[in-house]
Amino acid sequence: MKKEKKFLDELDAKLIGVSKKDKETILSKYQEIIKTRKENKERIKDILKSIGTPEEVALKEIEEYKGKNSLKYKLNKVFSSIKQFVHDDLNRDKEKEKKQQEERAKKREEKKKIREEKRKVKAEQKKLLKEEKEKAKLESKNNKDKEQKDKSKKSFKNFLNKFKKHKKDTIKDEIEESKEEIKEEIEEVEEEVKSEISEVTNIATETKIFETKEQRISRVVLNVIKVIFTTILIFIWLWVSVVFIASVFAYLDGVKLYGLVIGLFGIDLFILLLIIFVNKSIFSKKISRKWPFIFMLLSVLIIASGIAIFMKQIYKINTTADVSEKYSMTKKTSSYNLPSDNKNLYVTFNSNYDTDYIVEYDKTLNNKVNVEVKYYECYYDYYSKKDNNNLYISLRLDKRDRLSVYIDDLKEGKIYDNNELSRYVVKITINERDKNRVIIK
C-alpha cells in the first residue's frame, strides 16, 4: 500500500502542464490498473516494475494529452526537476531514518519471537524434567527395577531428543523464512535507493548543478545563440510557407510549374526539421540523430528534384518579342493652358524613371501645350496634375501588377518581352514661339 501511494504521489507531482481534470483521470486509470492486477494476486513490486517509473509514465501520458516538443512544457519540466531534486534532498534523510527505524523494529520483533520460542522450549524442558523427577521418585518409592528405570530414562531421552530436534527444526524454518523476508525487503530498499540515485544524477546532469562558472556562462551563451537562430529560422520558415502556399494556388489556377511547388515544399520541410533539431539541442540532453538525418536527406532530395523539374519546365517556355497579339498600348492625351503674364510652365515627370520624351511644334496652338502619353496599361497607371504654373505627369509601375502579368503569361506557356512591355512614349506639342516658356525637368 505504501509503494502504491508513493508511486501515485510521484506520478501526480511529475504530471506537469496537465489540467486538474486530466491529472485525476490519469491517476484513477493507474489506480484501477494496480487494483485489478492485485486482485489477480500479482506482487506490487512486479506491477510497478511492469508499469514503469513515475517519470516514464508521466512523460508518456503528457505526450498523449498535450503533445510533444512544447517549449512551455519543457521549461516547466526543467524547473519541476530542480524543485523535485531540492524536495527529495530535504526529505531523503527523513525517509532514510524512517526506513532504518522500521528495519530495527522488524529485527526487534524477530528477536522477540526467537526469545519467546526459546522460553517455550525451556519451559517444556523444565516441565519434562519435573515429570521425570516425579517419575523417578515414584519409581524409588515403588522400588522398581533398574531395567524399568533405564527404559524410562531411555524413552524419556529419546522423547526429549525428538522434542528438541522438532523445536530446533521449527525455529530454524521460521528464522530462514524471516531471513528471506528481510533479504527481500533489503533488496527492494536497495533497488529504490539505486533508482533514486540514478534520478538524482540524471537531474544533476540535466540541470548542470555541478558545472563550473565558465561552463555555465558558455552554456547560457550557446543557448541564447541557438534561440536567436531558431527565431530567425521560424521567420524564414513562415515566409517560405507563404510562398509555397501561393505557388500551390498558382498551380491550381493554371500555372503548371509543379517543379517550383515541389522545390518550395522541400525547402519548407528542411527549414522545419532544422528548427526542430535546434530546439531539441537546446532543451534535451540526448538527441536522436537518425530520424532527423533521414528526413533532412529526404528534404534535400525533394529540393533537388523540384529544382531540376522547374529548370526543365522554364527551359521549355518561349520568350515572345511580339506582344501585340495580347497587349496594346494605351494613349492618354491632355491639353493644358500656359500661365498668364508670360510665366513659364514647369513640366515634371516621375523621378523614379528615366523618362524619354519627344517635343513637336504646332503653329495652330496658342498659349497651349498638348501632352500625349502612350504606355501598356498592364504595367503602368497614368496620373497627371496641374497647379498654377506646374504640371506633374507620372506613370506608376506596380510590381504586383507586373507579377500578375508574368503569372498570367505563364498560364499560356509564354513569357512576353519585358523590355517591350516596360516601354512608353511621351510626346509634348507646343507652338514654336512658346518653346522657351515650357521647361521640362
Q: Is 143 left (phi over 0), alpha (psi -120 to 50) or beta?
A: left
Domain C-terminal end among 157, 179, 206:
206
User: How far is residue 235's CA from residue 245's CA, in Å, rounded to a whole number?
Assistant: 15
Cell numbers that stand for 347 in this block: 513640366
Same domain, 202 and 252: no
Q: What b/e string do you get for 170-203 counting C-beta neighbours within 10 Å, with b at 16 or more?
A: ebeeeeeebeeeeeeeeeeeeeeeeeeeebbeeb
Are 307 and 377 in the same domain?
A: no
Domain assignment present for residue 13? The answer is yes
Backbone φ, ψ for residue 151 (5° rounding) = -60, -45
Count Cβ atoms below 10 Å from residue 360 Cβ, excluding itself.
Answer: 11
Q: Are residues 70 and 175 in the same domain?
A: yes
- Domains: count for the chain: 3
- Please tell me whether residues 45 and 185 are part of one structural domain: yes
Task: Verify that 251 and 221 share a domain, yes or no.
Answer: yes
- Residue type at position 316: K
Looking at the fold, whether 194 and 236 belong to one and the same domain comes out as: no
Are 92 and 128 found together in one domain?
yes
**Which residues is 397 bridged to in the sheet?**
380
**Does residue 155 sit within a domain?**
no
In a domain, 31, yes or no: yes
Q: How far apart are CA 298 and CA 304, in angstroms?
A: 10
Same structural domain for residues 223 and 354? no
Q: Tell whether 187 is covered by a domain.
A: yes
- The answer as to whether 158 is a domain residue is no
Residues 17 and 103 in one domain: yes
Its domain, for residue 231, covers 213-316
pLDDT truncated to tens, each residue of the chain (441 aa)? 677 778 878 878 877 777 778 888 888 888 888 888 888 878 887 888 888 888 888 788 777 766 544 555 455 555 566 666 656 666 676 777 778 788 888 888 888 888 888 788 878 878 887 887 787 777 767 666 666 666 666 666 666 676 666 666 676 666 676 667 677 767 776 676 666 666 655 554 544 445 687 888 888 888 888 889 889 989 999 999 998 998 888 888 777 788 888 999 999 988 888 888 877 776 655 556 677 778 888 988 999 998 998 888 777 777 777 777 778 888 888 888 888 777 888 888 875 656 677 888 888 888 888 888 888 877 778 888 888 788 888 887 777 777 777 777 777 777 777 777 778 888 889 888 887 888 887
For residue 153, tell me if it sits in a domain.
no
Which among 206, 222, 250 is the end of a domain?
206
Domain presence at residue 229: yes
Would residue 322 count as lying in a domain?
Answer: no
